[in-house]
Amino acid sequence: MDQTEYKIYIDNVIRRVETARLKVDDHHIVKIVAVSKYSTSDEIEKLYEIGQRAFGENKVQDLKVKTTELEELPLEWHFIGNLQKNKINNLIDLAPSLFQGLDSLELAIELNKKLAAKETTMDCLLQINSAKEDSKHGVMPEDALAIYKQIETECPNIHLKGVMSIGAHTNDKAVIKKSFETTHEIFKQIPDAKICSMGMSGDFELAIECGSNMVRLGSVMFNK
């Protein structure tokens, strides 16, 4: 695809997001984070030229490489992966605009300690394992509210902005929908939560219809 064809292709993805969000409400605004983990810096730059500004990576090392290669561009970087304890300082130094995968109280306490030592803060989302899958990270839905409050009171260097979840891993649309509804239900119960991040290339329309206001789109944004 040349750049003109790519632009038409992306317009169509944006139209799909628009159609889904308008089913919720005229004022329901959805932000697209382009997940660039399968893509090169050249490909990111092509998408930037079409107008995309927010990008997400799921490995600290890849985030470092891409932020360095693309440092001239005014991009907004999200870290969407699982954070190992030995990578915390590296992530802090990269200063992502949002860390979407805060998945336990234990990690929050470690991260807070290291943020405090560096006299800085980080905006984060609490990851919820809504479908209770062994293969996924995140807090159990029944524990999410209490953990969210505990992080807010005990971790002053972490600024929680809302919740993140990955849809259930199944072809059963009803089960996927249920997992999104579970996350959105928790989101609604947190008065100051702003972001409900859910929906990927295969399920973003359903996620938006269930109340998502941030979708993380990888393959569909890079046409892979």
Ligand X SMILES: *Cc1c(COP(=O)(O)O)cnc(C)c1O
Nearest residue relative to ligand X (C-beta): 218
How far is the C-alpha of 219 from the C-alpha of 201, rounded, in Å?
Answer: 6
Q: According to CB under 6 A, which one of 37, 87, 159, 177 is a site residue for ligand X?
A: 37
The answer to whether the CB of 111 falls within 8 A of the CB of 89 is: no
Query: Is residue 13 part of the contact set for ligand X (CB under 6 A)?
Result: no
Query: Is residue 158 part of the contact set for ligand X (CB under 6 A)?
Result: no
Q: How many residues bind ligand X (CB under 6 A)?
A: 13
The answer to whether the CB of 194 falls within 8 A of the CB of 163 is: no
Query: Is residue 58 part of the contact set for ligand X (CB under 6 A)?
Result: yes
Within 8 A by CB and 6+ apart from 80, the residues are: 33, 35, 56, 57, 58, 100, 101, 164, 216
Query: Is residue 54 part of the contact set for ligand X (CB under 6 A)?
Result: no
Q: Of 158 and 214, which CB lies nearer to ligand X in the complex structure? A: 214
Query: Is residue 80 part of the contact set for ligand X (CB under 6 A)?
Result: yes
Query: Is residue 66 part of the contact set for ligand X (CB under 6 A)?
Result: no
Q: According to CB under 6 A, which one of 115, 144, 160, 166 is a site residue for ligand X?
A: 166
Is 185 strand, coil or helix? helix
The nearest distance, CB 188 to ligand X, in angstroms, is 22
How far is the C-alpha of 34 from the C-alpha of 81, rounded, in Å?
Answer: 14
What is the footprint of ligand X within residues 91-150 (CB under 6 A)? none
Cα dihedral sign for 42, 43, 49, 52?
A: negative
The nearest distance, CB 223 to ligand X, in angstroms, is 11
What is the footprint of ligand X within residues 177-206 (CB under 6 A)? 200-202
Residue position matching structure tokens 């004022």 = 27
Query: Is residue 70 part of the contact set for ligand X (CB under 6 A)?
Result: no
How far is the C-alpha of 134 from the C-alpha of 203, rounded, in Å?
Answer: 20
Q: Encoding tokens for residue 54?
A: 């927010």
Q: According to CB under 6 A, which one of 10, 32, 35, 70 is a site residue for ligand X?
A: 35
Stretch that binds ligand X, among 12-20, 24-32, 133-141, 210-218 (CB under 6 A): 210-218
How far is the C-alpha of 219 from the C-alpha of 200, rounded, in Å?
Answer: 9
Residues that bind ligand X (CB under 6 A): 35, 37, 58, 80, 166, 200-202, 216-220
